[in-house]
Amino acid sequence: MKTQHKKKSGFLWEEFTWPEIEAYLKTVDTVILPCGAIEQHGPHLPVDVDYYDAKYMAYKVAEACQDPKPLVLPTIPFGVSFHHDDFKGTLSVSNDALSKFVYDLGMSLAKNGVKKIIILNGHGDNAPTLSYAAQMITRDTNIFVCVDTGETSDSVLNKLIDTPNDIHAGEIETSTTLAIRPDSVQMDKAVNETMEFGSTYLDFDNDLSVNWYVHTHKISESGVMGDATKATAEKGEKMWELMIHHMVRFVESIKNTPLKDLYQKRY
């Protein structure tokens, strides 16, 4: 019986042989590194949301990019999730472990000839750690490294929802999950835990807010921070469309700009 081989995507790093990667990196110098987390997402969503979404987003973005497409690296599944530790199912690594891992990976990519690394972060609390790793890679190499934790689309998404401070397993994440894998969502268990903080400077929706951290169980009984009951697949489809569109524009601008002109165009 003849074995059927799965068709290659054309941009997933792990699918290539080493000579193929060597040849590909002569045509494009940009990679996308998705990073997620395995952590509680309320009583209605699976614990892999941040991992799955980062992987899905990276694939869809690369797929939509012009040829030659950026290479997509295998997704890092675990993140800095200590604040969810009171909820079972959460698997967390330390800031030091994640930053060192990403740093080592970045140094290895540089040795391969990669010139630009776009870290696509699917878990907000990874951001400080990933930014630190990006700084250290930049310090020790001559390549470009950046971290996107939704900055290319967050302001657009907030216009599509009704919930203030919708930051975890609420209207946004439940909608985006309903849009791409509805069988993973238990909407009968969705809850509303909309939050109001003691200071406007703690509001996540406030442009003047500060960065701050808290153990989730202190502000949410269910693990939800937002209103999951307002989620719909239609909202999620629009969110994915906008997120992918904006990220593709960003990736294309990085990919198509020579490294020497990326920071400041020279005339």
What is the C-alpha to C-alpha distance for residues 50 and 35, in angstroms, rounded to an integer?
8
- Per the prediction, the chain carries an average pLDDT of 95
Where does the pLDDT of residue 7 fall: very low under 50, low under 70, confident under 90, or very high at 90 and above? confident
Where does the pLDDT of residue 3 fall: very low under 50, low under 70, confident under 90, or very high at 90 and above? low
Provide the pLDDT for residue 264.
79
More confident residue, 3 or 253: 253
What pTM value is reported for the model? 0.94
Provide the pLDDT for residue 6.
65
More confident residue, 155 or 5: 155
What is the C-alpha to C-alpha distance for residues 54 and 34, in angstroms, rounded to an integer?
5
The pLDDT tens digits for 227-267 are 999 999 999 999 999 999 999 999 999 999 999 999 876 65
What is the C-alpha to C-alpha distance for residues 188 and 89, in angstroms, rounded to an integer?
20
Window from 100-114, 169-183, 189-203, 223-237 with minimum mean pLDDT? 189-203
CB contact at 8 A, 144 and 262: yes
Provide the pLDDT for residue 18.
97
Rounded average pLDDT over 200-219: 92
Q: Report the relative pairing of strands 71-72 and 30-35 from DSSP bridges.
A: parallel
The pLDDT tens digits for 17-73 are 999 999 999 999 999 999 999 999 999 999 999 999 999 999 999 999 999 999 999
Q: What crossing angle do the helices spanning 171-180 and 233-255 adopt, rounded to 10°? A: 90
